[in-house]
Structure 1
Amino acid sequence: MAAAGETESFAPLIENEVSQGRFVLVCEHASNAVPARWGTLGLTQEALRAHIAWDPGARALAQALSARLDAVLVHAPVSRLVYDCNRAPDMAGAMPAQSEVYEIPGNADIARDERLARTQAVYLPWVAGLHGVIARRIALGLRPVVVTLHSFTPVYHGKPRRVELGVIHDADAHFAVAVQSAASKLTRLNVQLNAPYSAADDVTHTLRLQATPYGLPNVMLEIRNDLLATAEQVTTMADQLAAVLNMGLVEIQRQAKAS
């Protein structure tokens, strides 16, 4: 609990930090929890269980992948409606007033001081915590491969989405292209590059901030959430994606040796 006059902060949750694998798994939208100080943001419990508040299935998938890849996992402890850790403080989506068809009353006309308070309580601890994990692993010679994990709704604004696995990159496409190729070979998923989002939609903030400055291989994976609805589906997807990520890593290592 924060002392009087201080802002309570919500540090990222870190699992398997002593792992020896190269992958650093990141789940910015792991939780739909809204701390008491923000009430319910004016939303019903049904709305807070919906995809607008988090990425359903993403945390379970990330944890399963962490076990299979011997990877460290960093995930956010609060809903993206309080603060979306994959958005910079000046982005409208950091504290959205509307998400798809949902109005977010608690985010309407947020005062300047409240924006700062949420940034200090959620975003700054998140950035520092994830950066610390990456920097420590670089120091140990475990040069990280950064993978952010998300899920997306099968129907958006009334339109069905055929893509099942989106592979998204920011400035450096090398690892994303290797992962897309591996997924096409190893799975029957409808795999698309830069779908249903791309860097043009401002969804690669974490990669841009945490991986690009160090020149680290990185990719953002988006899995359609109806494929993560049960424990069995999560297990199947984790088995597939572990093999895909490993193949992608082998490929960029081969390319590096050849260059």
Structure 2
Amino acid sequence: MKEAFEISGVPSEGGVLIVADHASNHVPDDIDLGISPQYFEDHIAFDPGTAPIARMMTENSGYLAILSTVSRLVVDCNRFPDERSVIPERSDGVEIPGNQITAAERQTRLDRYFTPYHDRVHALVLDLKPALVLSLHSFSPTLRSNPQLQRPWDIGILYNQYETASRFAIQFLEAEGMLNVGDQLPYSGKELNASMDRHCEALGQPYFGAELRQDLIMEPVGQRRFADILLRSCDKIRTALA
């Protein structure tokens, strides 16, 4: 059975830990979601571009990444376990009939994928005491359920109560030039921040969330561009926080 997470990079104390909750679109063979396979390549299944960017970043000393290895349609790791949407029955206008399951089946999925992933994130934060945690996601510039909605930002920075690292991130990203940086956009970290609330806010761990626009990171050139931008920004944030 495939593990619930992938580790990229070499662990080191006081470095940067990248947490990628939606890195994979993998659906195990024994789970039938009841949807067309075309949706496995869609943004409802995963955050395209985040896995290669995380791996590129961990080519650098002091950077470690943990990536979820199953689709967010199997289990959404950026939710709390008691939320209904942790196993979504509908996403951006698409019904997921295979997720209309019993409470016991829900618990089996959580035990198999959600809990091991979060246990490892928690252990990495406690053991490595990173100078900074980067919660890495990507967002679709358009939605089927609301085609009139415009999401023009190149990168959005999300946070909840802890704002310090995010304020630095916005400052340093804007200084890069030619980037449309969103503050709490395309949605608010005060409403959608489960993993960071759990592993960082609760422990006083410095972090920020980054949402990258998917059409800018679908190809290796764009992925490398944003990996380099995030590396520069994270290094500056670490210095600013010291």
* Partner AA of 1:104 in structure 2: I
Residue in structure 2 matched with residue 226 of structure 1 by the alignment: 215
- Give the 4+ runs in structure 1 shifted more than 6 A: none
| Residue in 1 that maps onto 2:20 | 27
2:165 is matched with 175
CA distance, structure 2, for counterparts of residue 69 and residue 193 of structure 1: 29
* Aligned 1:44-83 pairs, distance under 5 A: 44-68=36-60, 70-83=62-75
**What are the Cα deviations for residues 52-107 of structure 1, in whole angstroms up to 9, with x where unaligned?**
00001011111112223631110001001110111111212211111012111111
Report what 2:77 is aligned to.
Answer: 85
In our comparison, the structure showing a higher alpha carbon Rg is 1
Residue pair 2:13, 2:128 contacting (<8 A) in 1 also: no
In structure 2, C-alpha distance between the alignment counterparts of 1:28 and 1:153, rounded to whole Å? 16
2:34 to 39, 42, 57: 42
- 5+ unaligned residues in a row in structure 2: which ranges? none
CA distance in 1, matches of 2:84, 2:104: 16
Between the aligned partners of 2:183 and 2:238, the Cα distance in structure 1 is: 17
Give the distance between the partners of 1:66 and 1:104, measured in 2 at CA: 34
What is the identity, as a one-letter code, of the residue corresponding to 2:140?
T
Note if contact 1:12-1:130 (Cα within 8 Å) is conserved in structure 2.
no
Report the Cα offset of residue 18 of structure 1: 2.8
The answer for the alignment partner of 2:106 in structure 1 is 115
Checking the alignment, whether the CA contact within 8 Å between 1:167 and 1:180 is kept in structure 2 is yes
Contact 2:10–2:62 (Cα < 8 Å) also in 1: no
Q: Residue type matched to 1:126 in 2?
A: Y
- Name the counterpart of 2:240: 251
**In proportion to residue count, which structure has more helix?**
1
- Report how many aligned residue pairs link the two structures: 239
Question: Partner of 1:191 in structure 2?
Answer: 181
Measured after TM superposition, the shift of residue 165 of structure 1 is: 0.5
Partner of 1:14: 7
Q: Which runs of 5+ in 1 are unaligned?
A: 2-8, 254-259
**Amino acid across the alignment from 1:91:** E
Indicate the SS of the match to 1:221: strand
Identity fraction in percent: 28
Aligned-residue RMSD, C-alpha: 1.6
The one-letter amino acid paired with 1:232 is: V
Shift of 1:10: 3.6
**Alpha carbons 2:156, 2:185 under 8 Å: kept:** yes
